[in-house]
Amino acid sequence: MPSRIMLPKIIFFAAVSLATLAVILLALYTPVPHRKPAKNSAVPSLALSLYIRQTPVASPSTHSVVPSDPGAYVFHRALAEGPENTSRIVGKAQGIIIPVEHFAHSVFNVIYLTFNTHDYSGSLSVQAKNVGHKDNEELTVVGGTGSFAFALGNAAFGQTDQQGTSLNVTYHIKLNLRFPNRSQTMPVTHKSKEA
């Protein structure tokens, strides 16, 4: 008969051995699906073409001054279906961009696009990893909420051809979004506009 000092050690060893055996058996005998995804089952995707423009100001007496060489761009703008002032507003664009050289790869360079329409309700986070002073920037969609939950993809961002003051510049953003395969996918009813 084992002594009273050895009994706890034997119980501990038996428990650890049984737990290890259970993990090994579960790993060996758990059924795993061995089917390949069908070639025609595409990842759900969505393409949007939108415009970021100055939000209509309520009082004309309020005017902002933009520094000639700003260290950071902090903005609150309207997200519209077209570049015209009469285009339907579908949400807002907010963010901060730091074009300074040592912050050009910063995680703070993010544009938040918030949608509030009948078709879409939610937001997208678009990150500018390589900020430069180019006419067109390639941005990365790093996530979303609501209708855009778990969205990934890319975005082409550039200034439109319309000339205006530095406060009234309109930007065109083309979003190419991919969504993970999930049992309940978002129905896509909105068609993208080509500019």
Stated pTM of the model:
0.61
Is the pLDDT at 44 greater than 60? The verdict is yes
pLDDT of res. 114? 92
Domain 45-57+70-178: what homologous superfamily?
Answer: Allene oxide cyclase-like (2.40.480.10)
Is the pLDDT at 125 greater than 60? The verdict is yes
Instruction: Quote the CA–CA distance of 127 and 112 in Å, as a whole number.
Output: 9
Average pLDDT, the chain: 75
Strands (E), the chain: 45-53, 73-80, 89-97, 110-116, 121-127, 136-146, 152-159, 171-178
Q: How far is CA 170 from CA 93, 122, 159, 160, in A?
A: 12, 22, 6, 6
CB atoms within 10 A of CB 162: 13
Q: Provide the sign of the torsion angle of the four alpha carbons 158, 163, 165, 169, taken in this order.
A: negative
pLDDT of res. 185? 46
Is the pLDDT at 96 greater than 90? The verdict is no
pLDDT of res. 104? 55
Q: What's phi and psi for 14, nearest 5 deg?
A: -65, -40
The pLDDT of 135-141, averaged and rounded, is 81
pLDDT band for position 41 (cuts 50, 70, 90): low
Could you read off the pLDDT of 50-66 as tens digits, one per residue? 998 887 655 444 444 44
Sketch the domain layout of the chain as residue ranges. 1-30, 45-57+70-178
- Whether 127 and 109 have beta carbons less than 8 Å apart is answered as yes
Higher-scoring residue by pLDDT: 114, 164: 114
Higher-scoring residue by pLDDT: 109, 188: 109
The pLDDT of 164-171, averaged and rounded, is 68
